[in-house]
A and B are shown apart, each in its own frame.
Chain A
Amino acid sequence: MILYFLCLMLFCVGLYGVLRKRNIVKMIIGLGIMEYAMNLFFVLIGYRFHGRAPIDAKDQNIFNMVDPLPQALVLTSIVIGLAITALVISIAIRIYEKYGTFDITKIKRLKG
């Protein structure tokens, strides 16, 4: 319970970074922190006290393992996070090349 809440606090730190920072790299970093927090949250949900890692051994019976499904889903989610981060960084590099800055207040060709 406290752990879940701490994890959501980490999520909110990332959210704050995305919403309030005016530097493109800081926004990407905020996004990364949000991704860490949501992955951790999903894995926390599947944890089981005194559980074993979900890999069979020859001599042990298979019960009392942690939940393998969230782990499989988070594996997918990590990849998605990597894909988004890489794409956004490449956009940021091109923006830097065009404007010569990462400061978003100076990048204002579009009006909201």
Chain B
Amino acid sequence: MNNITIIPLFVIIPLAAAFLTSLVGKFIKRSSETIIFISSLALFAFSLYARFLLNSAAGKIMVYKIGGWMPPFGICMVLDGLSCFMLITVNLIAFFVAVYSLSYMEQYTDKPKFFTLFSLMVCGMNGLIITGDLFNLFVFLEIASIASYALVAFGTEAEELEASFKYAIMGSVASAFIFIGIAFLYSFASTLNMADMARVLSNKQNEWVIPFVGVLFLMGFGLKSALVPFHAWLPDAHPAAPASISAMLSGVLIKTLGVYSLIRIFFNIIGATQGYLAVLMFLGAISMIAGVVLALSQWDFKRLLAYHSISQIGYVILGIGLGTPLGILGGLFHLFNHSVFKSLLFLNSGAVDYATGTRDLKETGGLGKLMPVTAKTNLVASMSIAGIPPFNGFFSKAIIIIACLEKGNFGYAICAVIGSILTLASFMKVQKFAFLGEIKDKFKNIKEVPFTMLFPMVCLAVICIFGGLMLIPSFRFFLDDAVAVILKGTSYASVVLEAAAK
């Protein structure tokens, strides 16, 4: 057993948890809760430990060869700065959401099935992040997607089924585009390993193949990450799911399936040219503005949050599309921050729903006095998402805007500022109608939600407040290593292949 054995554990633990939960969950009471709690805690601990191991690894990269086959022949798992960053984000949110679900899911029947699907979704995301093989990425993307289709429909009410159907159809079309793209790449390069493919592609002349494949992947992963021309499923699917799942979907799923895969393929395999970056920036800016404008007119708490997810993903893509070190740093930092505060907001909306039974902002009001913890954490999250200093959202947005100015893209910088102001406006509405003002008669006797739901909200709010500290030099390695991987571009190939040869 050496250090490297930690890598496959990120897939084995959630998979074993899922199988066990579905096997014993029905017979032994509360066993599924215990299994999921232990497994998600273990995953979170292991992801931090992996970060610790990575610091001491040579070249800051670890490669695990499955079945002992050398990379172009077998499948390998790669743990580098970027995947470690994503692993920590995913498992952090997954742990808190799992704790929250312990009480929240009491409203629904058949908890063991919920936890099985939840665990499979985490397994799919972890597998996607650590894999080093293009087809394997597709397989794990499908695991995470199918689990999320089923989870969106978990309440089996008419709206949920309809949203899930829409999501499943659009998601499957996206997968089909991705699959065709992989087929083109396989035919052209005759290999599936990502590092090997990057090596082959950089030595091969072509005119149309790579741009065409790029467009296919942009459509596929753009659909998965809900960039604006492809966003139609998100405002239905995210509100329909149970609140804890909305937090997972908005918080990490669209980022892992969409943004991470897009970054990995465009920067590390195909090699990002100015053309791709310009397209990414344009889509990011459009999403940023369109999402927030659509959000302004919403009265359903969760639907409003869902539109804000589109807008915030726009910031992430804009930052990464800039292609400068500062822009990528801002984009990744915003990705992490958005995971934290958007999950927190969805958990808040779930708490409001749990206590009052409604999500309509016109009906609620004055909840601040009866649910003090929910109201305060929601205030923190709202200020974060609107970019008020000193919360974490301010720092990442500021970095993105500065990076825009630095590169001379004043138009995009102004877009980002306008988006931020509109975000503030729409969250002031949430504060006013949900938590301030007069309380309605029928909600006089509601109580604060149970402890297991409060604990994750408080923890996430604390991360929101102190998230800005990640920028001080002694903690920055967490972000800097991820940025370094992206900036390395297609020389990713030689790094991975060398590490594998050892």
Contacts and interface: CB of A to CB of B under 8 A. Distances in A.
A–B in direct contact per CB < 8 Å: yes
Interface of A: 8, 11, 15, 18, 24, 27, 31, 34-35, 38, 41-42, 45, 69-70, 73, 76-77, 80, 83-84, 87-88, 91-92, 94-95, 98-99, 107, 109-110, 112
A94 B161 contact: yes
Interface stretch (B169-177, B197-205, B354-362): B169-177
Contacts of A70: 183, 186
Given A31-B169, A76-B139, A95-B158, A110 B186 contact: no
B46 interface: no
B146 A91 contact: no
A109 B135 contact: no
Given A69-B192, A84-B172, 15 more contacts: A31-B172, A34-B173, A35-B176, A45-B183, A45-B187, A70-B186, A80-B142, A80-B175, A83-B146, A87-B149, A88-B172, A91-B153, A91-B161, A98-B161, A109-B159
A15 B173 contact: yes
Contacts of B452: none
Contacts of B176: 11, 34-35, 38
Contact of A98 (B149, B158, B187): B158
A9 to B, nearest CB: 13
B232 interface: yes
Given A18-B173, A77-B179, A87-B146, A94 B156 contact: yes
Contacts of B232: 112
Interface of B: 135, 139, 142, 146, 149-150, 153, 156, 158-159, 161-166, 168-169, 172-173, 175-176, 179-180, 183, 186-187, 192, 232, 235-236
Contacts of B162: 95, 107, 109-110
Given A35-B176, A91-B161, A91-B164, A110 B139 contact: no
* Residues of A contacting B: mostly: helix
A69 B187 CA distance: 11
Contact of A41 (B159, B164, B183): B183
A98 B146 CA distance: 22
Given A45-B186, A110-B163, A11 B180 contact: yes
11 contacts: A8-B180, A11-B180, A42-B183, A70-B183, A83-B146, A84-B168, A87-B168, A91-B153, A91-B165, A94-B153, A112-B235
Contacts of A109: 158-159, 162
A8 B176 CA distance: 12
B257 to A, nearest CB: 15
B200 to A, nearest CB: 15
B180 A41 contact: yes
Nearest to A42: B183
Contacts of B173: 15, 18, 31, 34
A92 B164 CA distance: 10
Nearest to B156: A94
A112 B146 CA distance: 22
B157 to A, nearest CB: 8
The 5 closest A-B CB pairs, nearest first, are A45-B187, A98-B158, A42-B183, A34-B176, A91-B165
A44 B438 CA distance: 67
Given A84-B146, A95-B158, A24 B165 contact: yes
B117 to A, nearest CB: 11
A110 B163 CA distance: 8
Given A38-B180, A41-B180, A91 B236 contact: no
A91 B166 CA distance: 10
Nearest to A110: B236
